[in-house]
Amino acid sequence: MTMNVIGKPVARVDGRDKVTGRALYAAEFNQSNQAYAVIVNATVGLGRITGIDQAAVAKMPGVLSVLSHLNAPKLAYRPHKGSIDPKTGERLHVLQDEAVRFHGQPVALIVAETLDSAERAAAALRITYEAQRPIIDIADPDARAIVPESGRDHTRGDAEAAFANAPVNLKASYDIARENHNPMEPHATVAVWKGDKLTLWSKSQYVVNEQAEIAAIFGIPLENVQVICPFIGGAFGTSLRTWSHVTLAAMAARVTQRPVKLALTRKQMFFTTGHRPRTLQHVAIGATQDGKLTSLIHEGTGETSRYEQFSEALVASSSYLVSCPNVTTRYRLAALDTGTPVFMRGPGEASGVFALESALDELSYKLNIDPIELRRRNEPKLDEGVNKPFSSRSLIRCYDVGAERFQWLNRMPQPRSMLDGRLRIGIGVASATYPAYQAQSSARVRLLASGIAEVEVAASDMGPGTYTSMTQVAAETLGLPIDKVRFSLGRSDFPPAPSHGGSWTMASVGSAIRAACISVLEEAKKRPSTDRPLEATATTQRDAGVAGRFSMHAFGAVFAEVAIDPDVGTIRVRRALGVYGAGRIINPLLATSQCTGGMIGGIGMALMERTVLDRRDGRPVNAHMADYLMPVNLDTPKIEVQFVDEVDPHVNPLGVKGLGEIALVGMAPAIANAVFHATGKRIRRLPILLEDMLHA
């Protein structure tokens, strides 16, 4: 029996909790007798601590404990690398020695009776340092270049020779600023020890990894740690890893033997909880006169810290997005005196596709070929990087649907040819892509005699609507109405789920739920009349055969129209359209929101967002929500999202490809390409600023 709830615009099942303030986020699990911890951060960018006047602050009203490397407990820091942690390097050991590796590193911790007393003591704590000049600029000649151990270079044919022989060629360099995720909810942890058992109410996109990481750090058995996180106030990647503040909250609770709440300030969110690394990229393209690519060289360097190698798929999409016989991609890292970056929405692809899609746009003008036509001429029949067919690929269909809907043909092809009064108008387009991953996940389903189905997975919902869409999957598979399904997530003692990122939650967790539902139904057939609850647990992962046979990615075409005021240089996105081929859409209402939000994030990347570091000491100078600009309501254009029908029988049993990442990929190049169309100025550095538009 099927209820046909998959594919329906079901309203959010947690909507009422969210609009009434009843949904509880980590910092809101107040405990009785709770104390407050506040982190003190290093004010130098590199060096060592020479003195801390702890005694003076310890006497301040309400202060329970002052911790630093001088007196903090020595922690076990057993080896542990979750799937989300860099494979190379070693995580920061917090308050374990006097070394300062980057500006903002936690160097002391105040625990006090109230938040105000803790904050006041933190501000009063005097620390002296021996400081050195940190290297914080990826372009600094002293920055150490690393060939990442994750090795992502790709070569086919002879791209250098083909470039030299190409009838038409172009070379360009791109510089994309460091960004911070800046979710609305700051990181927070409430830690409670009961004997040797630790409970953490903690903002996390990966509760089972947080459990394992904290158990390893404190040297205690896994089962002694419980991590709980029913709601996440946005994260976009910043809560994938377990950062040092979680350790500090648990440490403070252990030292004071009190429940402790630790929430980061907005400023601290720029220090220790990851960032989208700044990237420098070079693209060289060779082509025939009729626009067929003969050579593509894409090199990129991303920031990492000195103590860990963070790597992402920066140049990977250049091996499969366009057809080209001669391709070389190279990925390098620059080790800097900063905290370790982390995945941020559309990691790698968002930056890499910007470079490639800007270069392709540039080529289209050079050849006088319509930008969409250029993509059409270079559409591959299979993934030429791995020589496998795509499980499905609807890129050209996305362009066709989008071109019609966005009235592409009304666009005048010449740059600087469209005006609206005194405003310069530009219309641009770009491809988007992101891999369709699936990771191992488990799920448990319990059918109660009352007719209710309880479904449990240690998954997360940072906003896309996991609660709702998983309820739909379970309801559909079990043949139950939505309101008979109780779906719970966000506890580390539930069946494990993979990290909530990489657009794989539906593919992974949804597949596990579906499998568990199918086996509980089989169980029900065997025992048709029973009062006892029926329970089934299932674990699923990607079919190895399918993974060997197919290349699996989502694709999309993104359109943007900008209006530029030539006198003051303001750039406004007036309308935007994203058309995606992303497999089956479980809930069009949620999917549309998710894509709209991603596209708005892309507007931020294109026109606003950058974390600026002071060269002298690595201090983020705009660590403030008024100075780190992000799109507000008035920046939002008329945005439309459309999904092309795409049935992918291979990718996973649900036929879904994921949306969270691809929604941001493609927006920035579409905007930059529109800016070129409006002004004739090719801006290769993000964000595009007012001053870039002077004399536009």
Partner 1 sequence: MSDDKYWDDARGDVDIASTRALSRRSVLQLAGAVTASTTIPEAFANTTPAAAPTPAAAIAAKVSFSVNGVRHSLELDPRQSLLDVMRERLELTGTKKGCNQGACGACTILVNGKRIVSCLTLAAMHSGAEITTIEGLASNGDLHPVQEAFIKHEGFQCGYCTPGQIISAVGCIAEGHAGSAEEIQFWMSGNICRCGAYPGICAAVADAAGRN
The residues of the shown chain that bind ligand FES, judged by CB under 6 A, are 184, 234, 463
Binding partner of residue 231 among partner 1, ligand FES, none, CB cut-off 5 to 8 Å per kind = partner 1
Q: Are strands 106-112 and 63-68 parallel, antiparallel or unpaired?
A: antiparallel
**Is residue 324 within 8 Å of 378, Cβ to Cβ?**
yes
Single out the residue of 3, 7, 8, 34 in contact with partner 1 (rule: CB under 8 A). 34
Q: How far is CA 128 from CA 85, 111, 136, 403, 613, in A?
A: 32, 21, 22, 61, 22
Closest CA to 107 of 151, 174, 53, 152: 53
Is the Cβ–Cβ distance between 550 and 389 less than 8 Å?
yes
From ligand FES, partner 1, none, which one binds at residue 141 (CB under 5 to 8 Å depending on kind)? Answer: none
Does residue 115 interact with partner 1 by CB under 8 A? yes
User: How many beta carbons lie within 10 A of that of residue 593, not counting itself?
Assistant: 18
Interacting span for partner 1 (CB under 8 A) from 18-26, 148-156, 160-168, 283-291 = 18-26
Binding residues for partner 1, total number by CB under 8 A:
87
Q: Which H or E element spans position 250?
A: helix 244-256
Q: Which is nearer to ligand FES, 462 or 662 (CB)?
A: 462
HEC profile for 355-408? HHHHHHHHHHHHHCCCHHHHHHHCCCCCECCCCECECCCCHHHHHHHHHHHCCH
Minimum Å distance from CB 514 to partner 1?
Answer: 22
Minimum CB distance to ligand FES smaller for 341 or for 631: 631
**Smallest gap from residue 210 Cβ to partner 1 (A):** 14
CB distance 639 to 600 below 8 Å: yes
Q: Which of 88, 596, 622, 642 binds partner 1 (CB under 8 A)?
A: 596
Which CB atom, from 234 or from 569, has the smaller least distance to ligand FES? 234
Kindly state whether residue 16 participates in binding partner 1, applying the rule CB under 8 A.
yes
Verify binding: residue 184, partner 1, rule CB under 8 A.
yes
Q: Please name the amino acid found at residue 44.
A: V
Burial of 553 (0-12, 13-18, 19+ CB in 10 A): buried
Task: Note whether 62 binds partner 1 by CB under 8 A.
Answer: yes
661 included as an active-site residue = yes
Segment interacting with partner 1 (CB under 8 A) among 222-230, 500-508, 649-657, 675-683: 222-230
Output the furthest CA–CA distance in the chain (Å, rounded): 79
Q: Is residue 346 near partner 1 by the rule CB under 8 A?
A: no
Residues 263/190, Cβ–Cβ less than 8 Å: no
Q: How far is the CB of 631 from ligand FES (least distance, A)?
A: 11
DSSP string, 259-273: -EEEE--TGGGGTSS
| Residues 443-502, interacting with partner 1 (CB under 8 A) | 462-465, 467, 488, 490-491
657 binds, among ligand FES, partner 1, none (CB under 5 to 8 A by kind): none
Q: Which stretch binds partner 1 (CB under 8 A): 182-190, 347-355, 434-442, 648-656?
A: 182-190
Least distance in Å: CB of 231 to ligand FES? 10
The residue from 210, 640, 661, 691 that is catalytic is 661
CA–CA dist 154, 607 (Å, integer): 31
196 binds partner 1 (CB under 8 A): no
Minimal distance in Å, beta carbon 547 to partner 1? 31
Residue 334 interacting with partner 1 (CB under 8 A): no
> H or E element: which one contains 129?
strand 127-131
Report DSSP state, residue 464: S
32 makes contact with partner 1 (CB under 8 A): yes
The reply on whether position 31 binds partner 1 by CB under 8 A is yes
Q: Residue 555's closest CA among 691, 421, 373, 380?
A: 380
Based on CB atoms, which residue is closest to partner 1, 122 or 334?
122
Q: Looking at the annotation, which residues are catalytic?
A: 661
